[in-house]
Structure 1
Amino acid sequence: MTYVVTVDACIPEDTPEMDPLQRAGAVALIEDGFDSVKAVEGPDGVEVDLLDTIVAVHPGGAVLKVVVDAPALEFAEDAVHALVDELLERTELLADWTIERCEVELHQDLARQSLDAAEGPDAPPDDPAARKARHSENPTPKAAADQNPAATVRLRMLALAAEPRHSFPPSLFAEPPAENDEGHADGAAVPSESAQLAAGAMLYTTDILVEELFEDLQVLTQEDTTVAECEGPLWHLERLPDRYALQYDARFARRFLVTVIAMNTRITDGTFQRPRCVAEELALRFLLHQATMTLELHNLLDDAVSAALDTFTDKAYDHTSHEWLYDPPASTSAPLETTLTPFSSWFTPSPEPSHPIADKPSM
């Protein structure tokens, strides 16, 4: 069965964060290490096949996505942990790094197949009526907790917004009252709790966005095709600008996913200031969309929360040129090719200095 293992590897404590050149070197070292391995021996001598890897390095370490074929979840997790541990140990420049997390993530379709195929004394009855009767006789704490999932999600979002280190303080989502000609406040600010909920939704959906983009990558890889020609379902990549759909292949999807992981890392560790390139502008657009959809799914998206997300959007971008990829402005007389960032430069950092979002006044 195929498992996705997420590994967080961190540089030693009390050491300076890596600069861009060091991060590029770390990527090369880790990828070279993975390239030299086709399979790894798990517990009890069980062989686990290495299918694919994605490496995203940030100033404080790296996030690794390792896809393996293993007979059971525990074998996949233990084998990948042992592999990454050995890879770091035998690479002199990475020997002091530590593994902070090593979790198995099962593809949704495979998880469903696994549940459908489940057998044993604890498996639920095949007959729906019998399952319902069994469930009524033996309610579980989880079932009780799931009676109000929206409230649980809301509390989680608010808790994330209250954490001190991330780059999305609720103040970025709260529109201060505007002043009229007489110097008095005109209109109301976004309510504090709505701003907190919007900020928390952005943080809550960072992992969701990564996982769904990873599934998009898997679809393109398996079909060996582009977004324009893909027959399988895609979560996000089909929402990229249509004009380049024939160029969105698995290689592009992998690079875009790494960009999203790196951006999310800066968001959660407090170092994000604003998008650095067109790819990150699009990634932030996806994150805003994901947050909006998640809030709507749980009936948490009201007018005040929508206003909070709009306020953040106005502050987050120096310009809206990435929107021209979808709908070029009619007012410009320049040829379209000269007004758009070339596709080949989407991942190139902007040479223009950018100020933090917090320093930009709302529009």
Structure 2
Amino acid sequence: MTYVVTVDTCIPEDTPEMDPLQRAGAVALIEDGFDSVRAIEGPDGVEVDLLDTIVAVHPGGALLKVIVDAPALAFAEDSVRALVDELLERTELLADWTIERCEVELHQDLAKASLDAADGPDAPPDDPAARKARHAEPPTPEGADESDDAEAKATAVRTQMLRLADDLRSFPPVMFGVLDNDNDKDNEDGEREDGDDGFAVPPESARLAAGALVYATDILVDELFEDVQVLTQEDAAVAECEGPLWHLERLPDRYALQYDAHFARRFLVTAIAMTTRFTDGSFERLSCVAEELALRFLLSRTTMTLELYDLLDDDVSAALEAFADNVYEDRDHEWLYDDSTDGIDESPVGVTLGVAPMEFKTWFTPFKEGRYVHPSAANESEAAA
């Protein structure tokens, strides 16, 4: 059976975070280590086949997705841990790194429900698209169980999102439409104004929006990873794919024949790199077209998750809109969804307006010098530079 093992590795405590050059070096070392392995000898001499890997390095370590073929989940986890342990130990520059987590991510309630229903009237449908729809709802949040009513679930999710808000370190409340303290003022009705004939977003709503973005990030990354698996298994591009896809089929149609498994891996790594900068405090600006599209998906997933739990009121919507307005430098990427604007970036009008290049081959090219694109996603010529 094929298992996807998630491994979180961290640099030693009290060690300065890695800069972009160090991160690029770490990617190369880890990928070279995996490339030298085809199979792993697991517990009791059981051989576990290494099928694929995805490496995403961030300032504090690396997130690894290791795909293996193993007879059981325990063999998959134990074998991958042993492999990564050995890889780090034999690589001098990584020898002090530690493994914080090594597991196959399965939601216990969904797994139990699938097992219980395997031979009964509620057995999961054979059609992959139907299974996708059935399991589209995010996992039951902490503090809630299946016996809880919708209101209790919504309360638990809201509490979890508010707790996660502190993890979005790159964005102060003002990015979500909250007033700076120095500019706060009350109108004659006692309501807070923003000084431009509008009203500020309440801090609580901004905090909920921030936490929802972090909450939705985990969901988005897992769904993009599933898209990678589907395209890899079918060895097809999105335009030819028969299996269910979460997000990549919602990219601009004009390039659908070029969204293959290799592209999907680059897009996944881009989404991870972007959201890592959101949470580690290093984000400055979006780096490339692919990041603009990844943010589009993150905002969509965040909105859908809030709607699912009836948490998307006008104030939270306003907070997300303010966030998008502040993070996007422009919305030129939306023209990719309008075939009538194909080539506008190369037209006299586009040049006059300063439209950035948007043709497919430029999606992973930094907008400007100094913008960060993950080495595993960058164009080969740029990664080598």
The reply to whether TM is greater than 0.5 is yes
Of 345, 348, 359, 1:342 maps to: 359
Q: Which deviations, in whole Å up to 9, do the C-alpha atoms of 1:21-57 show, x marking residues without a partner?
A: 2222221211111111122122222222211110111
Structure 1 residue 301 corresponds to structure 2 residue 309: no
TM-score where L is the length of structure 1 = 0.82
Structure 2 residue matching 1:300: 3-state secondary structure: coil
2:27 aligns to what? 27
Structure 1 residue 95 corresponds to structure 2 residue 99: no
8 A contact 2:168–2:211 mirrored in 1: no
Q: Which deviations, in whole Å up to 9, do the C-alpha atoms of 1:4-28 show, x marking residues without a partner?
A: 1111112222323223222222212
CA distance in 2, matches of 1:79, 1:199: 37
Q: Which deviations, in whole Å up to 9, do the C-alpha atoms of 1:165-209 show, x marking residues without a partner?
A: 6223433212549999xx966232112221111111101111111
* Identity of matched residues, %: 71
Structure 1 residue matching 2:337: 3-state secondary structure: coil
Instruction: Return the letter of the residue paired with 2:235.
Output: D
Which stretch of the first structure deviates more once superposed, 90-99 or 35-44? 35-44
CA RMSD of aligned residues (A): 3.1
8 A contact 1:170–1:198 mirrored in 2: no
8 A contact 1:3–1:105 mirrored in 2: no
CA distance in 1, matches of 2:207, 2:168: 14
CA distance in 2, matches of 1:27, 1:76: 23
Structure 1 residue matching 2:93: 3-state secondary structure: helix
Q: Which deviations, in whole Å up to 9, do the C-alpha atoms of 1:143-164 show, x marking residues without a partner?
A: 4457622111111001111x26
8 A contact 2:345–2:358 mirrored in 1: no
Of 258, 282, 298, 1:271 maps to: 282
Which stretch of the first structure deviates more once superposed, 340-349 or 49-58? 340-349
CA distance in 2, matches of 1:156, 1:209: 17
CA distance in 2, matches of 1:78, 1:333: 53
Structure 1 residue 251 corresponds to structure 2 residue 262: yes
CA distance in 1, matches of 2:120, 2:337: 49
1:231 aligns to what? 242
8 A contact 2:169–2:278 mirrored in 1: yes
8 A contact 2:205–2:315 mirrored in 1: yes
8 A contact 2:41–2:47 mirrored in 1: yes
From the superposition, tell whether residues 269 and 42 of structure 1 become closer, same or farther in structure 2 (CA, over 3 Å): same
2:47 aligns to what? 47
1:73 aligns to what? 73
Structure 2 residue matching 1:325: 3-state secondary structure: helix
Instruction: Return the letter of the residue paired with 1:344.
Output: K
From the superposition, tell whether residues 333 and 262 of structure 1 become closer, same or farther in structure 2 (CA, over 3 Å): closer
From the superposition, tell whether residues 333 and 24 of structure 1 become closer, same or farther in structure 2 (CA, over 3 Å): closer
Structure 1 residue 154 corresponds to structure 2 residue 154: no
Structure 2 matches for 1:1-363, cutoff 5 A?
1-106=1-106, 111=111, 115=115, 126=120, 142-144=145-147, 148-161=152-165, 163=166, 166-176=169-179, 186-327=197-338, 334=347, 339=355, 340-351=357-368
Shift of 1:352: 5.6
CA distance in 1, matches of 2:112, 2:236: 26
CA distance in 2, matches of 1:239, 1:60: 32
Q: Which deviations, in whole Å up to 9, do the C-alpha atoms of 1:57-90 show, x marking residues without a partner?
A: 1222211001112222222111111110100111
Instruction: Return the letter of the residue paired with 1:79.
Output: S
CA distance in 2, matches of 1:113, 1:191: 40
